[in-house]
Chain A
C-alpha cells in the first residue's frame, strides 16, 4: 500500500505556486530553483538574497512563524552546507522551505535574526554543531557543546565516536 500525498498535495501546491510566482515577480533572481518532493516545496534562494527573501515572505506573504532552521552537510559535494529554513504561515495554513547553500571553505550566511529574533538559538545551534557562521548574529556562541570544544560534531567528516582515542577494550584487535 504505497500511496503518496493525495490529501496534502492540492492545497499545499497551490499555496506554494503562489509564493514562487510572487517571489519571481518581486525579484527575478530570488528563486534559483524549486524542488517538489512528497508534497513539500523547497525554494532554493541565492546565497546573498536569503534575508531579503525571508523578509518578503514574512511581510508580503504572511509567513509569520519561523518553524525551524537546520543545516545538512553534503560532504564531499561542494557547496557542502545546505541551510533549510522552515516557514509556516498561520493565516494561510501553509508551509514552505527556503534553502540556501554555503561552501565548505568559508561557511557563512546572513543571519535571519533581524527578521525573526527566534532564529537566534537555532542559528547558534547550527554554528555550534556545523560550523556555519552567521553574519549580523547578535550572540554567536556555542550553545550545546562546551565553549572550548574543538570541531563541529554534526559535520559528516566528524566521526560518531569523536576524535579521542578509543580504549582498546572496546575495539579488541583494531587499535594500532
Chain B
C-alpha cells in the first residue's frame, strides 16, 4: 500500500500506520489503516466487522416478539431507541395503534437514553483528548440515569422495555420524584461540564477548525444526526417525520454552521438541554392511570388476570409465545432520531410468524463511511478527535 506523493520538499515515501482494532480511542474494535506523509494523513481506510454478530440473520430465525431482545444489543448506548424503532416498524406492519400513555412513556425513556448516550460520548471524547475529569463527571450522572432504567425495567442497560404494542411495565411507584430529581440536578451538571471544556483553551485548540465536512458532502454521504446539524441543516426525524407523538412536544432543533469538532460538541450539549425539556413535558403528559399496551388479541399478550378467567386469553397467550403472530405480507420502513442520527428499521414480512428480512439502518455505520473524507489532510493527532466527534458505537456499526 506504500505509495509516493509529491510534497513541497520533493518526492517522499509515505508510511502506513495500523490503528486499532484494539486502540482505546477507537471506541471499540475499529481498525483504520492510515497512510501518512510525515504527520499528515494522506489516505484512511476504515476496516470494520470485528463485532459482526449477525443480528439481522438471527432476527429472521425468531418470532417478531422474540427479536426485541436482539435489538438492545446493537447500539449498546441506545438500547431503548433500538427497541423503539423495531417496535414502531412491527406496529406499522400490523397497522397497530399504541395508547397515548405508552407513547409518552416511550418518549420520556428515549430522551433519558439520549442524555445518557451523550454523556458517554462527552466523557469518552474528552478523555481521548486528555481531559480526564470530564469522564468521571459524566459517568456520575449517567449512573443516575441507569438507576432510573433499573427502576423502570429491572435492568440497567439491556432493558427491552419498549415492546411491540406498548411498553413492558407500568412506571414504578415514586418514579415522578426520582425523574424530577434528575431534571432539577441536570442543568447545573451540564453547566459544570461546560465550565471544564467550553472556554478551555486546550479544548478549543484541539477541536476548533478540526474535522470540518461541508454540508453538501455530509448530505451526499447520507450523514445524519448531530454531524449533519452541526453542518447547518436542521434535519431531525422528531420534527420532520414525527413518531410516537413527538409533534405534541415543544423543543428546538439546535444547529451550528462551523461543522467542526467544537460545533458538534456545542450541539450535543444543547441537545441534552432540549432533551431535558422533552422529559419534563412527557412527565406532565403521562397520567397516573391508563393502558400501557395496545389491545390486540393474538398479538399483544393478554393481562395475567384475564388468563385465569377467560379461555380465549389463555389460548392467545399460548399461541403468542409458541407460534407468534403473522402480519400481512408487505414491507415497512421506519426512521427515528437516535443520539447518533437517523436510525431506521426495515422489515419485510411474507405472512409467516418470522420476519422475511429485518434490516437496520444504523447511523454509526453510515456516518463512519465519511470518516476518510473528514480526516484526510488532517494531522494524525486530530484523527482521534474526529473519530470521537462522529460518535460511533461499534455494536451499531457491525450489528
Contacts and interface: CB of A to CB of B under 8 A. Distances in A.
Interface of A: 1-5, 37-38, 40, 42, 64-68, 70-74, 84, 86, 88, 90, 93, 95, 97, 116-122, 125, 129, 142-146, 153-154, 156, 160
15 contacts: A2-B94, A2-B95, A3-B95, A38-B330, A40-B331, A67-B342, A73-B357, A84-B346, A90-B233, A118-B223, A120-B369, A142-B49, A143-B49, A153-B57, A160-B57
B222 A66 contact: yes
B220 interface: yes
What 6 pairs across the A-B complex have the smallest Cβ distances?
Answer: A118-B222, A4-B95, A68-B361, A144-B49, A37-B330, A70-B359
Nearest to B97: A3
Contacts, number: 116
A122 B344 contact: no
Contact of B366 (A64, A97, A122, A156): A122
Contact of A68 (B332, B348, B359, B369): B359
Interface string B328-344: 00111101000000101
Contact of B332 (A38, A122, A129): A38
Contact of A118 (B58, B220, B399): B220
Contacts of A90: 219, 233, 235, 240
Interface of B is mostly: mixed
B222 A116 contact: yes
Nearest to B359: A70
Contacts of B233: 90
B382 interface: no
B240 A2 contact: no
Contacts of A160: 57-58, 60-61
Contact of A121 (B94, B241, B366): B366
A68 B346 CA distance: 9
B296 interface: yes
Contacts of A95: 241, 333, 335
B10 interface: no
A3 B96 CA distance: 6
B57 A70 contact: no
A38 B223 CA distance: 27
A84 B361 CA distance: 12
A65 B241 contact: no
Contacts of A143: 48-49
Interface string B355-394: 0110101000110111000000000000000000000000
Contacts of B48: 143-144
B30 to A, nearest CB: 13
A143 B342 CA distance: 21
A72 to B, nearest CB: 4
